[in-house]
């Protein structure tokens, strides 16, 4: 989906850039499309870097999880994390797989 949005925005922007009959409104749409695209990428990046984003509460299905500081203290590389549901206080155990870095 993100690839399609990016391609559409690029197509529209390049069409309007080289068009001799583009209007102010079309230019305005172009700016909005580009801005929205940046927001979509920002959102994805935030999810990639947030370790809790892929988890939800197994009790109430809420995604409002916080890292439980009581249980998460560990030395070295963190491989297991305890997340606490802000809705129902359930504790979720998050285990990080041991894989190589720089996987982007």
Binding site for Zn ion (CB under 5 A): 57, 59-60, 62, 85, 87-88, 90
Nearer to Zn ion, 56 or 72 (CB): 56
In whole angstroms, the minimum distance from the beta carbon of 71 to Zn ion comes to 16
Nearer to Zn ion, 12 or 55 (CB): 55
The secondary structure of residue 69, as a DSSP letter, is: T
Residue 52 to residues 55, 68, 77, 88, 94, Cα–Cα distance (Å): 6, 11, 16, 16, 8
In whole angstroms, the minimum distance from the beta carbon of 6 to Zn ion comes to 35
DSSP H/E element including 85:
strand 80-85
Nearer to Zn ion, 8 or 66 (CB): 66
Name residue, tokens 């999880």: 65
């Amino acid at each position: 989906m993100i690839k399609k949005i990016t391609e559409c925005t690029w197509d529209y922007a390049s069409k309007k850039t080289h068009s001799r009959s583009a209007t102010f409104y079309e230019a305005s749409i172009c700016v909005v499309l580009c801005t929205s695209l940046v927001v979509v990428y920002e959102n994805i990046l935030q999810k990639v870097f947030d370790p809790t984003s892929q988890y939800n509460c197994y009790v109430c299905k809420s995604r409002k999880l916080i890292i439980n500081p009581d249980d998460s203290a560990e030395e070295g590389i963190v491989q297991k994390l305890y997340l606490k549901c802000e809705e129902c206080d359930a504790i979720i155990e998050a285990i990080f797989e041991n894989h190589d870095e720089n996987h982007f």
